[in-house]
Amino acid sequence: MVEMVTKPYAAAFEKHALANPDVLCLSADLTSSCEIDGFRDRHPERFLSMGMAEQNMMSFAGGLGLAGFRPFIHTFGVFMYRRPYDQLMASIAYPRRKVRLMAFLPGITTPGGMTHQSIEDISVMRSIPNMTILETGDATEVESICEAADSIDGPVYCRVLRGSVPRLFDSPIKVGQMRELASGDDVLVVTAGICTEEAMRANSVLSKTGVSVRHLHLHTIKPFDAKALLDHIASVKHGVITLENHVTEGGIGSLVAEAMADAGVGKRLVRLGLKDTYAHGGSRAYLMRYYGLDAIALVRGIEDLMGQKFNVSEQDLDVARVEAVHSLAKAEGL
Amino acid sequence: MQNKRQTVDVALGIRRRVFEHAIRNNGGYLSQACSAAEQLAWLYNEELNLGEPTLPMIPKPFEGVPSADNPDYHTGAGYNGPFEAQYDRLFIAPAHYALNAYATLIEVGRMAPEGLEMFNKDGSSVEMIGAEHSPGMEVHNGTLGIGLSTAAGLAWGRKQRGETGRTWVFMSDGEVQEGQTWEAVQACAHHGIDNVFAIMDVNDQQCDGTMSSVMEVGDIRAKFLAFGAACIEIDGHDLSAMRDAVKEPHAGKPLIILARTNPFHTMSILEERFPRLHYVRFKSEEERARMNISIAKDLGIDPIDYAH
Ligand SMILES: Cc1ncc(C[n+]2csc(CCOP(=O)(O)OP(=O)(O)O)c2C)c(N)n1
Ligand SMILES: [Mg+2]
C-alpha cells in the first residue's frame, strides 16, 4: 500500500518561507482550503489577506515583485487565471515578475463542477510567454514544489495537490528533468499529476500480461526537454500514449504531439484526457472513470495502440482510491 | 403556487432540511440556512411570480454539458417555472448556497424531498456547487461575482422585449469584494435598468472568517448608493421588513436589499464555531452528537438518527 501523506504543502511552504525572507504568502479567501491557515496564524507578518478579489491580487503581486518580494499566491487553479487573466499577463508574465502561482484543485480533483475545475489551465499557461509550469504528482513533489518554483527567474504556475496525497517518489522535483518510472520497449506512456498513479497501477497489471511499458512522469511541463522525450520515443516499438487530468488540447498530449511533429517522428500517438468537453461535479474516482482519465482507460488506450486485447478487467486494477467527501485533511467539501 | 404555507414555516422547513442533511453527511453549508432561510423562503413563497415547474419533481440524473452533440441539454431553471413574459426569474449568485436553495424548492413544493438525497452524489444533477443543470439554477454562478451582471443583461433584454417579469438575484456579501459586482451596478445605473432586484445575505462571513478580518468592505449601502443603485438595509430575519423594502421606489435604478443576518440564527450552538462558519464540518463525533441534540431542540424536532 502506498503511504498517504496529510497536507504535505502546509509544512513545505512554511519551511521554505521561513528560510527565504523575501517570500510572502498571499491568499484570496481560501486560506484553509490551500493549507496555509497554520502559516497565517503563526506568521501573520508574512501573510497578506487579499479577500475574494483575484484581479487586484494579481496586479498587487506584480507590485510586490517590483519591490523585490517573491509572492506565493494561493487559490484554486481556476481563480488564478480565468477572471484575472489580463492582470496575470500585464502585471506578472510580461515583466517576468517572480510570482509563484500555487494553483490548488487541478482539473477534476474537485466536485465543484465547471466553475471550480481548471481543465484548460496548462493549455493557457503554455501559451503565455515567460511562464514556467510545474505539476505535482505525489507528496514528495508537493514537498519540493516551493523550492522548485522559487528557483525560477520569472513567474511559475504550479498545479498543487492537497489533502491526503500518496507518496510515489523518493526524490524531489528537479526542474527541467523527467522521471523514468518504467523502461519497457513496447509503448511509451507519458503522464503528469494524479494520472501518474493511475498509470503505475495500469502498468503493474499490464506487465504481467507481457506488455512492456516505458513510463515517463512529467513535473516540468514548461520549459520542456523535447530531446529526452524523443530518445524515449525512439526506444519503443508501437508508439506513445498520454494521459492527463486536463483537456486533450494544449496539455501534455499536445506537448508530446508537437515534439513528435517537430522532429518528424512517424509513430502513433494516443491522447487521453477530457475530450473537448467541460466536466461536472462528482467524486474524483467517478469523474476519472466518467471522462476516461483512469487506469482502465489507459489499458484500453494501450490496447488500441497495440491492436491487441490484454484481458485486463477493472477488478484486476486496484480500485481507484475513493476519497470521503469529508476527509479531515480538507477544509470544506470541495 | 404561492402562499400555500406561511413564510415563517417555509423558513423553518428549510433550516430543518439543511440541518438534517448536514448531520447525516457530517457537514455542509449549514450556517447559510441560519442566515438566509427567511430570504429564500420570502422570495419563493411570497415575492416571486413564478409559474408551475416544468421539470420532474424527482430530478433527472446529470445529462451532459452544453455541446453541439447534446441537443437535448437544458438547465434546471424549469423548477422555477416556464420562461414567460410575466414571470420573474431568479439567479442564486453564490452557488454554494445551492443546498439551501434545493431545500427551499422542496419546501414550496417545486421539488420532491428525494432531490436532496441526490445532493453531491456521483451522476446526479443536484450538485454541491449549484451548476446550471441543477434544480432551480439557470446559469453557472460558482465563480462568485458574475450573477448580478448576467441578471442586468437579462433584465435589460427583457425590458426591450416588453416583458413585465422582473429579474431577481440572491447575492452574498462576499461578492462585494469582487470588482465585477460594482461594474454591474454601474451598468444598471447607466442604462436605467430598474427591473433587476437583488437581495443580499449580509452575514459578514466568508471562507476565511468575518469579512472585516479578511478584507474590509466598509459601508456597502453607501457604496451601492454611490454607484447608482437604490439600496435598503434591513434585518434579514424580519419578513415584514423584507415586504416593506421591496416597495422602495427605484425608477431608473436597480433595487438592492441588504439583509443583515446572523450566521448562527436559530442554531445557537453554531456560535462555538465563530468566526469560521462558511463550511461546517463536525470536528469529532462528540461535536456532531452535541450539535445534533442542540440544533434539533432549537428547531423543534427530534435529533437526527444518523447512524441509520
Ligand atoms: C471568483 C471566486 N473566487 C473564490 C471563490 C471561492 N469561494 C467560494 S465561497 C467564498 C466566500 C465568499 O463569501 P460569501 O459568498 O459571503 O460566503 P459565506 O461564507 O457567507 O457563505 C469563496 C472565496 C469563488 N467561488 N469564486
Ligand atoms: Mg457571506
Average pLDDT over residues B8-34: 98
Lowest-pLDDT choice from A71-85, A302-316, B60-74, B270-284 = A302-316
pLDDT tens sequence across B157-166:
999 999 999 9
Model confidence band, residue A320 (pLDDT cutoffs 50, 70, 90): very low
CA B212–ligand 2 middle distance (angstroms)? 11
CA B15–ligand 2 middle distance (angstroms)? 17
pLDDT of A332 reads 79
Q: Which of A79, A277, A334 sits opposite B65 (nearest CB)?
A: A277
Please tell me the residue having the least CA distance from ligand 1 atom 16.
Answer: B174
Domain boundaries, chain B: 7-54+75-299
CA B133–ligand 2 middle distance (angstroms)? 24
Smallest-distance ligand from the CA of B171:
1
pLDDT tens sequence across B121-150:
999 999 999 999 999 999 999 999 999 999
Q: Is B24 on the interface with A (CB under 8 A)?
A: no
Q: Which residues surround ligand 2, an ion (CB under 5 A)?
A: B 172-174, 203, 205
CA B225–ligand 2 middle distance (angstroms)? 20
Average pLDDT over residues A152-159: 98
Model confidence band, residue A2 (pLDDT cutoffs 50, 70, 90): confident
Cβ of B122 within 8 Å of Cβ of A282? The answer is yes
Average pLDDT over residues B12-17: 98
| A79 vs B contacts (CB less than 8 Å) | 143
| B281 vs A contacts (CB less than 8 Å) | 326, 332-333
Helix (H, G, I), strand (E, B) or coil at B1: coil
Q: Is B49 on the interface with A (CB under 8 A)?
A: no
pLDDT score of A323 more than 60: no
Smallest-distance ligand from the CA of A116:
1
pLDDT score of B307 more than 50: yes
Q: Which of B230, B223, B109, B93 is nearest to B170 (CA)?
A: B93
**This prediction's pTM:** 0.96
pLDDT of A322 reads 44
CB-defined site of ligand 1, < 6 Å: A 29-30, 52, 79, 83; B 32, 94, 96, 142-145, 172-174, 203, 205-207, 278
Residue window 51-110, chain B: list those with CB within 8 Å of chain A.
62, 65-67, 95
Please tell me the residue having the least CA distance from ligand 1 atom 23.
Answer: A29
pLDDT tens sequence across B198-248:
999 999 999 999 999 999 999 999 999 999 999 999 999 999 999 999 999
The CATH class given to the A3-167 domain equals alpha beta
Question: For the domain bounded by B7-54+75-299, which CATH number is listed?
Answer: 3.40.50.970
CATH fold label, A178-328:
Rossmann fold (3.40.50)
pLDDT tens sequence across A18-58:
999 999 999 999 999 999 999 999 999 999 999 999 999 99
pLDDT of A211 reads 95
Where do you find CATH 3.40.50.920 in chain A? 178-328
Cβ of A49 within 8 Å of Cβ of B213? The answer is yes
| B174 vs A contacts (CB less than 8 Å) | 29, 52
pLDDT of A321 reads 47
ipTM score of the complex?
Answer: 0.96
Where do you find CATH 3.40.50.970 in chain A? 3-167
Cβ of B214 within 8 Å of Cβ of A51? The answer is yes
Q: Is B207 on the interface with A (CB under 8 A)?
A: yes
Model confidence band, residue A318 (pLDDT cutoffs 50, 70, 90): low
| A55 vs B contacts (CB less than 8 Å) | 179
- Mean pLDDT score of chain A, rounded to an integer? 95
